[in-house]
Amino acid sequence: MKKALYLIGSPNQTTQMHGIAQLLQDDYEPYFSQLYYDGWMRRFYKWLIRNELLKTTIVQGHIKEKADKYLAQNQLRNDFENRVFGHDYDLIVCCSDIIVPWNLLKKTKSVFVQEGMTDPLNLWARLVKKFTNFPILTISTALNGMNNICDVYCVASPGYAEHFAKIGVDKDKLIVTGIPNFDNIEKLRNNSFPHRGYVLVATTDMRETFRPDNRKKFIKQATRIAAGRPMFFKFHPNENMARATAEVEKWAPPGTRIFTSGNTEEMIANCVELITQY
């Protein structure tokens, strides 16, 4: 049977890759690996890992630990960095093209599947795109697609197809498929989250990825929008939970609920209004 390697990362990326693998398992035997870099700067990449300079990203630290735990719990084969089983794969499925194993993608058919909204194309991202060939320098998803390394790019919408084309993906590679983890609306409606009728505030990990975040201002804005309605905060899984919790307790109204884990999509399905940072 043919073999496929699914590159995973955050909890959302990991569950989405698992779902795709289940759909393709009759044709491709599935293997998984946390996102990693393999290419001419491999030594520098390993130096960053050894010195724990990427602990707040999806390639290292608690995000990787969550992904490894998920693979173990679901008895999925973990071919980390293609150095456990070392197969010659027939297909690579990517959730990002910013950090990639160039050696595999250059010789293997590959598909990129968008897993969520991309970060804003801010001034720094524009400068990185104009003056370098290294989208990873944004420390964000703003330039996903700039490497244009995959054979097919499955994206969320016609608008995102235009976006990825501007970033650098060849137009003939782009296919609008939607986002598998988010598009089954009826499944999300029938969920086990027990609460209804609240305003959900979903935060980001901008500070953890070295970008400015005026959290006090955001909490105050969310409070104004909620206008006295029950307010729930759901933190990004990559956030410093202790810091984020302390900030909500300090600046949000009494009785505000805080969630450091849980199914965000189910929380969104049950809320009356969703507030995000961008």
pLDDT bin (cut points 50, 70, 90) of residue 55 is confident
Rounded to whole angstroms, how far apart are CA atoms 169 and 145?
A: 6
**What pLDDT band is residue 71 in, cutting at 50, 70 and 90?**
very high
CA-CA-CA-CA torsion sign (137, 176, 189, 192): negative
| Contact (Cβ atoms closer than 8 angstroms) between residue 97 and residue 149 | yes
Question: Would the pTM of this model clear 0.95, i.e. be above it?
Answer: no
Give residue-wise pLDDT tens across range 123-157: 999 999 999 999 988 888 999 999 999 999 999 99
Mean pLDDT of the chain: 93
Q: Is the pLDDT of residue 56 over 80?
A: no
Q: From 126, 158, 176, give the residue that closes a domain.
A: 176
Q: Which residues contact 221 (CB under 8 A, 6 or more apart)?
A: 275
Give pLDDT tens digits for 100-127.
Answer: 999 999 999 999 999 999 998 999 999 9
Asked if 49 contacts 42 with a C-beta cutoff of 8 angstroms, the reply is no
Both 70 and 200 in one domain: the answer is no
Q: Do 38 and 160 have their domain in common?
A: yes
- Asked whether residue 168 falls in the same domain as residue 216, the answer is no
Tell me the three state secondary structure of residue 198: coil
CA distances to 1, 57, 133, 167, 277 from 93, rounded to whole Å, are 17, 20, 22, 20, 29
Check whether 228 has a pLDDT greater than 90. yes
Amino acid at position 72, single letter: A
Q: Could you tell me if 190 and 155 lie in one domain?
A: no
Parent domain of 209: 185-276
Q: Return the percentage of the chain with pLDDT > 70, whole number.
A: 100
Residues 135, 7, single domain; the answer is yes
**60 has pLDDT over 80:** yes
Q: Are strands 110-113 and 91-94 parallel, antiparallel or unpaired?
A: parallel
